[in-house]
């Protein structure tokens, strides 16, 4: 662990190294609008948030229209999102190196007051049963057709 002064420095730099990147990309996405097929069967202008909700529609044409708009928006901002993600991950790596954390998730374990061995055991147990979620999503896909 670092000294209190060193931790303060890392917290101060997180505003420019993390929060502003996330805020910028979220701001770009929230301003996006596209015409998509609504539940009423008519094309109408919807916000990014509304488009995301429509992707869960029971109507396939509405889901497809919304998914196409969603992918178009994502493709518009892919380069910014890539830079954001790389900057956030780079910032975390520097912070972890300074704190001498030997694994990327150790900080989360410490803040959650849980041992890494318990998390590893849970991951192993869940991974051994991936077939259950595969079956669930296969059934859900059939129901959504």
Q: Using CA atoms in the order 107, 110, 112, 115, what is the torsion angle rounded to 10 degrees?
A: 110
Per-residue pLDDT of 24-37, as tens digits, reads: 999 999 999 999 99
pLDDT value for 21: 85
Model-level pTM?
0.67
Walk along the chain (145 residues) in steps of 10 and give the mean pLDDT of each run: 85 81 92 96 96 95 97 96 91 90 93 96 95 94 86
Q: How many residues does the chain have?
A: 145
Q: How many CB atoms lie within 10 A of CB 66?
A: 24
Q: Are strands 43-47 and 33-37 parallel, antiparallel or unpaired?
A: antiparallel
pLDDT value for 42: 96
Closest CA to 127 of 119, 137, 139: 119
Phi-psi region of 19 (alpha: psi -120 to 50; beta: other; left: phi over 0): alpha
Per-residue pLDDT of 49-71, as tens digits, reads: 999 999 999 999 999 999 999 99
Q: What is the largest CA-CA distance in the chain?
A: 60
């Amino acid at each position: 662990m670092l000294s209190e002064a060193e931790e303060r420095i890392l917290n101060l730099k997180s505003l420019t190294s993390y929060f502003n990147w996330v805020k910028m990309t979220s701001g770009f996405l929230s301003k996006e609008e596209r015409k998509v097929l609504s539940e009423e069967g008519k094309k109408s202008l919807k916000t990014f948030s509304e488009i995301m909700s429509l992707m869960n529609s029971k109507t396939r044409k509405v889901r497809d229209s919304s998914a196409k708009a969603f992918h178009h928006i994502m493709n518009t901002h892919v380069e910014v999102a890539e830079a954001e993600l790389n900057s956030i991950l780079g910032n975390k790596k520097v912070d972890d190196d300074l704190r001498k954390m030997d694994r990327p998730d150790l900080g989360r374990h410490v803040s959650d007051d849980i041992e890494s061995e318990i998390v590893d055991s849970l991951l192993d147990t869940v991974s051994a049963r991936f077939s259950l979620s595969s079956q669930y999503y296969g059934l859900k896909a059939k129901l959504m057709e």
